[in-house]
Amino acid sequence: MPIFGHISYYRPGDVLDSRLALSRAGLHRPTRTGVSGSADEGAESIILADQYEDDDFREHDLTYSGSGGRDPRTGRQTAHQELSGRNLYMHKSLATGRPVRVFRRVAVEAGFGYRYEGLYRVVAAVHEPGKAGFQVWKFRLVPVVELGS
């Protein structure tokens, strides 16, 4: 059952040392994929891990590239993305307006960790040429402004 919003005592700025740690804490259940959720309810969490060249993390919003169309050996975009699989999760989040937990891969003393950036909402989705020239789903997310913050 997906959980939308903060989980337990974890708050923005917290860093966990691995995807397995995120999964065990219930923050981002899959240990390999970048989107957790379902096509029926939407995305509950995403990870920006510097794997898609069209991802862009900015101060007031972020662009999260959809999944699919990448060569599994090189990681390069080699085909168009479709509105299927995890891209449907993100598109459903656009429709529902539910918050999405965002994590970002960051450098830490021991290599890499995953920092909780906070809650975001999907506010737009476009299917357009990415940097490699193939049609890519791009989802724009903005931070959720919480009372008392």
Interatomic CA distance for residues 148 and 102, integer angstroms = 20
Per residue in 107-120, pLDDT tens?
988 789 999 999 99
Per residue in 75-100, pLDDT tens?
889 999 999 999 999 999 999 999 99
What is the residue extent of each domain of the chain? 15-143
Which residues 6+ apart lie within 8 Å of 59 measured at CB? none
Confidence of residue 149 (pLDDT cuts 50, 70, 90): low
Mean pLDDT value across residues 22-46: 94
Q: Is the pLDDT of residue 138 over 60?
A: yes
- What's the whole-number average pLDDT of the chain? 92
Per residue in 50-79, pLDDT tens?
878 888 888 899 999 999 999 988 888 999
Fold designation for 15-143:
PUA domain-like (2.30.280)
Mean pLDDT value across residues 11-32: 94
Neighbours of 130 (CB within 10 A): 20
pLDDT score recorded for residue 148: 61
